[in-house]
Amino acid sequence: MITPSSPTPHHLQNLKISWLDQFLSPHNYLPFIFYYPSNGDENNEERSKQLQNSLSEILTIFYPLAGRYIDNNLIIDCNDKGVEYTEAQVSGCLSRLLEGGELETELRNHLAPHPVQPDNSPLVLIQFNMFESGGVAIGLCVTHRVADAYTVFTFVRTWATACKLGFDEVLHAPSFQLPSFFPSRDTISSPNRFIGRNHHKIVVMKRFVFTGAALSKLKAVVSASVNGSHQPTRVEVVTAVIWKTLTMVAQAKHGRLRPSLLSHTFNMRGKIAMPIPDNSCGNFINVALSHFTADDETKVQLHDFVDRVYNGIKNMVSDCARVSSDDELFVMAEKIRIETIKAFTRSEMDLYMFNSWCRMPVYQADFGWGKPGWVSGLYVPGVEMVFLVDTKDGDGIEAWVSLEEDTMLLFQENPDIKAFTGQEL
């Protein structure tokens, strides 16, 4: 275990979680892997020592992550027990992983630690992987109960800065004040976070890359159809083309158009009318909802789905901008949560869950041996979901799509998916 380099002050040792944290299961972890090709300096023993020392230093400001979650009391015991840190020697080839080949999926799944989830388990698990052929990868899992993607990437970027330049160069400490704005509530039951209703079926994950050139084509197609009323974003067009494809796949499987609800995770930092610190860490996310109804059969073109995505996000931004109190945000979030759960439990309706990490500092984590050559997520067993993340050049988007095996076979053969994620662009 890596513990903070100095003890957490007594007055900070009991951190109540927020009701936003309560919405997320303590058993869900956010897994990420950062890949670093060889730069000629393969002193991995020294690298690991630097990683551990700098990790210990930044845990003094990310002190909740070194604690333990106590479910009965809805608190993080900031007891400095530390984060789990392990090392692994890898016989595989990093260059093959960077190519993203499907054959390397099994190896990739071994590069991040897998939490066993007992009581009093670490909130953060880290694995430093050293490839025999050169290069390293850092895999980590952070419990979603106390951190969203923004928090994870802030943590990693801060750790990288401390490792490369020294802890004194870390200029901004994170804020853990969200529970004081949004205190936990006794009325919220512990979530059973979307355990698959078809849990007996096999869920597979595949990566689909929309290059900058492909996105330019997609945006041009959509813009020509909407008469310039709205210039779609990269995230909107990728979400729309995937949603449209999933709608067509569902029609092929069931013989008719089916209603669906699309949920898109939304970062609320800087979006609400409350004095929330911009550097707030924890969970500060909501969900933007978009609807497709079975009587929309005349509106199944790509621009129609872009409009639905755009309106869902626009409405969420507008609603958040009017929020000026804890109660107002809770009423809004609870309404969304109930609608999402109802959609999930209705067998005649499809729910598509999207998470976007685009424009987050995914590729800024330079520990002293360069920025990562690639950053990937990890397969989460049994969960159907779509994760969107920038390509390294910042122009394209990687879509990590998890679907039931039979649905994936139809999805990957859809003409739009083949056209806009292929190489002939």
Q: Are residues 52 and 145 in the same domain?
A: yes
- 172 in the same domain as 87: yes
Could you tell me if residue 116 is inside a domain?
A: yes
State the CB neighbour count (10 A cutoff) for residue 259.
Answer: 17
Instruction: Indicate the number of domains in the chain.
Output: 2
Residue 251 forms part of a structural domain = yes
- Contact indicator for 88, 45 with CB cutoff of 8 Å: no
Q: 148 with 295, same domain?
A: no
Residue 134 corresponds to which amino acid?
G
Residue 242 and residue 151 share a domain: no
Same domain, 156 and 221: no
CATH number at residue 117: 3.30.559.10
Q: Determine, yes or no, domain membership for 152.
A: yes
In a domain, 230, yes or no: yes
With 0-12 / 13-18 / 19 or more C-beta atoms within 10 angstroms meaning exposed / middle / buried, residue 126 is: buried
* 291 classed as catalytic: no
Q: Are residues 266 and 159 in the same domain?
A: no
Residue 373 carries which DSSP code? S
Does some domain include residue 79? yes
Q: Does residue 327 share a domain with residue 264? A: yes
Tell me whether residue 353 is in a domain: yes
Q: Are residues 210 and 106 in the same domain?
A: no
How does pLDDT run along the chain (425 residues), one tens digit per residue? Answer: 999 999 999 999 999 999 999 988 777 888 999 999 988 777 899 999 999 999 999 999 999 999 999 988 899 999 999 999 999 999 877 887 777 555 466 777 889 888 776 677 899 999 999 998 899 999 999 999 899 999 999 999 999 999 999 999 998 899 999 999 999 998 886 655 454 455 567 888 899 999 999 999 999 988 887 665 678 999 999 999 999 999 999 999 999 999 999 999 989 999 999 999 999 999 999 999 999 997 877 889 999 999 999 999 999 999 999 999 999 999 999 999 999 888 888 888 999 999 999 999 999 999 999 999 999 887 676 778 999 999 999 999 999 999 999 999 999 999 999 999 974 33
Counting every residue written for the chain, the total comes to 425
Identify whether residues 16 and 65 lie together within a single domain. yes
The angle, 0 to 180 degrees and rounded to 10, between the axes of the packed helices 212-225 and 302-321 is 90
Integer Cα distance of 11 and 322 in angstroms = 34
Is 144 catalytic? The answer is yes
Catalytic residue among 296, 304, 366, 395: 366
Same-domain status, 174 and 214: no
Q: Tell me the CA end-to-end span of the chain in Å, nearest whole number.
A: 48
Q: Which of 80, 144, 264, 303 is catalytic?
A: 144
Domain contains 425: no
Indicate the residue among 127, 146, 181 that finishes a domain: 181
pLDDT tens, residue by residue, 153-168: 999 999 999 999 999 9
Domain residues for the domain of 169 are: 10-181
Residue 286 DSSP label: E
